[in-house]
C-alpha cells in the first residue's frame, strides 16, 4: 500500500511538472516565436533570399515547438478530455489510427491514466467504445502501465487479437 501511495505521489508530481512545462512553452516561448514571425513579415529592404532563409528557419522552429507542445498531450487531456488529447496524439503521429468514440463518461483520473498508458505503449491503433478502449501496441504492459491502471481503478485484459489489450472500468457492475 505504501508503494501505491508513493507511486501516486510520483505520478502527481510528474503531471504537475508536465503542466508547468506546457504552460511555459505556450505562454513564454510561443508568444516570443509568434512576435518574431510577425516582425519578419514587416521587414522591408531585406534581400528576398535572406528573408526566405529566415522565414524557413522560423517555420522549422515553430513546427518543432508545436510538436513539443503536442507531445505534452496530458495537459490537454486534463483541460479538455481524452478525445482532445488523442486528437493531438494523432496529429503528431500520422501512423496512429484512432476509431470510435472516446467521449464516454470517464473520470478525469481515468482519462489521464488511459492517456498515459497509450503514451507509454505507443500504439498504432486505438479503438474507442463507450466504456472501453482497445489498443494495438508494440510491447506488453509493464509495471508502470499496470500501476497507473490500478490507481485509476481501470481493468486491463487481453483482447482476442494478438498484441491487443482492452482497458475498461474495473467495477464492471456500475452503469457508468
User: The pTM is what?
Assistant: 0.62
**pLDDT, tens digit (0-9, with 9 covering 90-100), for 107-164:** 888 888 888 888 888 888 999 887 888 888 767 788 888 888 888 888 888 777 767 8
Which are the contacts of 171, defined by CB distance < 8 A and separation ≥ 6? 153
- Which residue ranges make up each domain of the chain? 2-71, 81-169
Q: Measuring CA to CA, which residue among 79, 61, 122, 124 is closest to residue 97? A: 124
Length of the chain: 176
81-169: CATH topology is: Heat Shock Protein 90 (3.30.565)
Amino acid at each position: 500500500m505504501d508503494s501505491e501511495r508513493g507511486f501516486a505521489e510520483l505520478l502527481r508530481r510528474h503531471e504537475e511538472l508536465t503542466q508547468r512545462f506546457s504552460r511555459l512553452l505556450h505562454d513564454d516561448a510561443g508568444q516570443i516565436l509568434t512576435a518574431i514571425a510577425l516582425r519578419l513579415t514587416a521587414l522591408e529592404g531585406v534581400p528576398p533570399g535572406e528573408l526566405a532563409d529566415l522565414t524557413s528557419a522560423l517555420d522549422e522552429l515553430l513546427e518543432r515547438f508545436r510538436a513539443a507542445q503536442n507531445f505534452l498531450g496530458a495537459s490537454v487531456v486534463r483541460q479538455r478530455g481524452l478525445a482532445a488529447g488523442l486528437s493531438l496524439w494523432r496529429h503528431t503521429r500520422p501512423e496512429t489510427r484512432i476509431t470510435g468514440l472516446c467521449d464516454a463518461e470517464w473520470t478525469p483520473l481515468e482519462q489521464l491514466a488511459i492517456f498515459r498508458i497509450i503514451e507509454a505503449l505507443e500504439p498504432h491503433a486505438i479503438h474507442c467504445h463507450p466504456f472501453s478502449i482497445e489498443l494495438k501496441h508494440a510491447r506488453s504492459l509493464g509495471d508502470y502501465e499496470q500501476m497507473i491502471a490500478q490507481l485509476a481503478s481501470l481493468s486491463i485484459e487481453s483482447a482476442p487479437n494478438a498484441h491487443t489489450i482492452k482497458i475498461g472500468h474495473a467495477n464492471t457492475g456500475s452503469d457508468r
